[in-house]
Amino acid sequence: MNIAKTLAQEWNLRTDHVQNVIQLLDEGNTVPFIARYRKEMHGTMDDQTIRQLAERLTYLRGLETRKGEVLHTIEEQGRLTDALRAAVEGAQTLTEVEDLYLPFRPKRRTRASIAREKGLEPLAQALRAGRTDMPAAQLAEAYVNAPSGAETAEDALQGAMDILAEDVSVSAALRGHLRALLRTTGELTASGKDAQDTVYAQYADFRSDVRRLQSHQILALNRGEREKVLKIELLCDEDAAVQLIARAVYRRPHPYADELDGMCADAWKRLLFPSLSRELRRELTDRANEQAIATFALNLRPLLLQPPIKNQVVLGFDPAYRTGCKLAVVDPTGAVLDTAVIYPTPPHKKTAESMQKLTALCKKHGVTCVALGNGTASRESEQFLTDFIRESGLQISYMVVSEAGASVYSASKLGAQEFPDFDVSLRSAVSIARRLQDPLAELVKIDPKAIGIGQYQHDMPQAQLSQTLDGVVEDCVNAVGVDLNTASSSLLAHISGISPAIAKNITVYREENGAFSARRQLLKVPKLGPKAYEQCAGFLRVAESREVLDNTAVHPESYEAAKNLLLLCGYTQADVRAHQLTDLDRRMQAMGKEQLAKRCGVGVPTLTDIAAELQKPGRDPRDELPAPLLRSADVMTLEQLKPGMEVVGTVRNVCDFGAFVDIGVHEDGLVHISQLADKFVRHPSEIVRVGDVVKAVVLSVDPAKKRIGLSMKQVKS
């Protein structure tokens, strides 16, 4: 198989571009580096496409390896034919390869193997060939009482049919046809007499065509089955399956049609259906897992790339009941200024004292924004906070921030290293404040699986989930870039080419030698060699450097090209510092981009990237996104919501069946996929993503179950 050609066909890409990506990956280059700094080699593929190619490349290479193993094993058995070799080499999936290998796989002792030991193979083949009119029982008499033979004609006949049934069950072509039959006509049913009062109530009496099953349904059914709440059964048109097997075994008229029909029914019920149904369930689960992981990744990207709240002093508010609400004030750089504990919630309800303490804290440090955690007691805390804002007269806004994973960070080794003198709950308050201040810098400290987005994440293959999510984190961190002199080791560890050990070495070097004054200084960091420098340099910013390009995403290898571009267009580095390149695009257009690229010694894509960086040195791509929704002193309760009310909220989670929106009443409302738009929506991610601020209309409110139904279709323009 020509893997590069196969990948190019699957993605509709040029073969040479795909081959270049394969070569770059094999050379140890990271995906962010390839995507950003080798555009001429791959035709400007984005990081997600390159990751998908890398995953598919791993699969296809594994497929080729498995083909070699199978061919070698069959050849050792002396049973490899030219036709079989061609079939194995032409297989497109691992399933096809395993189907072809099935007849040659070492088997445990079976009914068929026992029959073969009794010498019944010739009888089986004679019955299948049907070249005699002798009754089957009479034909079987010849195999009774022979050495190690059958005891009766019935035993001999049964043994022969067992042999034929096993032969049928390992036929690659037949398994393929039956697999297709199951996929197109199969039905999955679920039942559970104890499921009515559980989260599986909708599956207590459930039936669906296999081909119409949704990913979230598959995952829910699987979990219900594991918890022994649901009984799952796969149904199929058994008559159609048996007829399909019969057509593969013999042609009518046939003297032993009745016997062979019985064998076909046995092969289906005893051997093929159990095997293929397990395979289909596994296939459905794999597909659902892939969809769930993809949805998780889709949610994680915008969550990490939410715009930071810059130049504000933020107070993190971690709500609680008995133990009190923990407060932490952080300055615009994330440094902790102060901490406190107040008791405005039950059972203490020290409202006046809490207001006095909070007022003093806000005035002392000039707090302008509050990040309120959405955990236990957040509803009561939000009411207290809005009363405080209203009564204090201070110009303070607030936002409810997801606490998911904050406790994981607080109790982690990293949390203890950052704040050894703080207890766990105070660390959580700091994390909540920083999540609002700079979501990316704070969330990278937490395992993405603990952030609280997606669906059924604990049911996913954890290695596959981690690999995908780690890739998203890496892409986001590198897309934004980090300040070399302020970034934590947690953030640095996600930069292209930097391992956790090197990240730690960078922070130690910074502590011992002071702030970095240039990118090249990185080469003095222990264990950070030329290859790591090549991979990471473009994603690290040094605002303090005398070289203005050190504060851009221009790679050091392109500094000469950038300086040539400035010279050819009549600019200086001083103009870059002063942000006075507003006419650069027009001048480049007038001179011709292709000609300029040749004179600068780079390709047009790289030249375009250089020009964009020169016009906005030190830019943060997140600044171009809509700002997060900050609230003032208004708060609404679930009981106050009425159908028909228009609300504004922030999308907190997107899953296969809809989107959950925070509308400021503590409980998120669900916009079902059917209510997202006045058109067919294949997946909610086509319409919304995490962090979007949206308008919606309340459809229904169920205070008892704490459920809110919303619609984005009925919003007045």
CATH code of the domain covering residue 48? 1.10.10.650
Summarize the confidence of residues 153-157 as an average pLDDT.
93
Asked whether residue 303 is domain-assigned, the answer is no
Predicted local distance difference test score (pLDDT) of residue 633: 56
Are 215 and 321 contained in the same domain? no
pLDDT tens digits, one per residue of 86-117: 999 999 999 999 999 999 998 888 999 999 99
- Domain annotation covers residue 298: no
Measured distance CA(429)–CA(151) in Å, rounded: 80
pLDDT digits (tens, 9 = 90+) for 535-547: 999 999 999 999 9
Considering only CA atoms, which of 649, 662, 652, 657 is closest in space to residue 696? 649
Q: What whole-number percentage of the chain has pLDDT above 70?
A: 98
Contacts 24+ apart (CB under 8 A), 127-134: 127/157, 127/160, 127/161, 127/164, 127/256, 127/259, 127/260, 128/164, 128/249, 128/250, 128/256, 128/260, 130/250, 130/254, 130/255, 130/256, 132/255, 133/255
Please indicate, yes or no, if residue 487 is contained in any of the structural domains.
Answer: no
The answer to whether residue 571 scores a pLDDT higher than 70 is yes
State the CATH number of the domain containing residue 435: 3.30.420.140
pLDDT of residue 709: 94
Confidence at 167, pLDDT banded by 50, 70, 90? very high
CATH of the domain at 517: 1.10.150.310
* pTM, rounded to two decimals: 0.85
Asked whether residue 635 carries a pLDDT value surpassing 60, the answer given is: no
| Residues present in the chain in total | 717
Are 484 and 547 within 8 A, CB to CB?
A: no
Please give the structure tokens belonging to residue 5. Answer: 């050609």
- Token match 């409810």: residue? 400
For residue 500, whether the previous peptide bond is cis, meaning omega lies within 30 degrees of 0, is no
pLDDT confidence of residue 96: 95
Residue 557 reports pLDDT greater than 90 = yes
Q: What does the alpha-carbon distance between residue 101 and residue 214 come to, in Å, rounded to a whole number?
A: 32
Count the alpha carbons within 13 Å of 104 in the hemisphere toward its beta carbon. Answer: 21
Q: What is the total count of domains within the chain?
A: 5
Kindly state whether residue 467 falls inside one of the protein's structural domains. no
Q: What is the pLDDT at residue 563? A: 96
**Which of the residue ranges 227-231, 315-319, 415-419 would you say has the lowest mean pLDDT?**
415-419
Co-location of 148 and 245 in the same domain: yes
Same domain? For 345 and 286 the reply is: no
Residues 603, 701 within the same domain: no
pLDDT above 90: percentage of residues in the chain: 74
In this structure, are 144 and 285 located in the same domain? yes
- Asked if the structure places residue 123 within a domain, the reply is yes
Tell whether the model's pLDDT for residue 342 goes beyond 70.
yes
pLDDT at residue number 498: 97
Q: Where are the alpha helices (DSSP H) in 146-210?
A: 153-169, 172-185
Q: Which tops the pLDDT comparison, 376 or 321? A: 321
Q: Is residue 632 part of a domain?
A: no
Residue 551 lies in a domain: yes
Report the alpha-carbon distance of residue 288 to residue 221 in Å, rounded.
Answer: 11
**Residues facing residue 631 across a β-bridge:** 398
**pLDDT at residue 683 above 60?**
yes
Is 279 in the same domain as 318? no
Q: CATH code at 271?
A: 1.10.3500.10
Helix (H) or strand (E) holding 380: helix 378-392
- Same domain for 333 and 285, yes or no, is no
Same domain, 373 and 318: yes
Mean residue pLDDT of the chain comes to 92
**What's the pLDDT tens digit per position in 490-536?**
999 999 999 999 999 999 999 999 999 999 999 999 999 999 999 99
- Residue 526 pLDDT: 96
Banded pLDDT at 123 (limits 50, 70, 90): very high
Mean pLDDT across 78-83: 95
Residue 459 lies in a domain: no
Pair 282, 135 in one domain = yes
Provide the residue range defining the domain that includes 660: 638-711
Single out the residue in 433, 453, 473 at which a domain terminates: 453
What confidence score (pLDDT) does residue 632 get? 62
Q: Which residues contact 297 (CB under 8 A, 6 or more apart)?
A: 468, 469, 471, 472
Do residue 393 and residue 447 come from a single domain? yes
279 and 322 in a single domain? The answer is: no
Where residue 629 falls among pLDDT bands split at 50, 70, 90? low
pLDDT value at position 365? 96
Assess whether 581 and 647 both reside in one domain.
no
Q: How many angstroms separate the CA atoms of 389 and 401, rounded?
A: 18
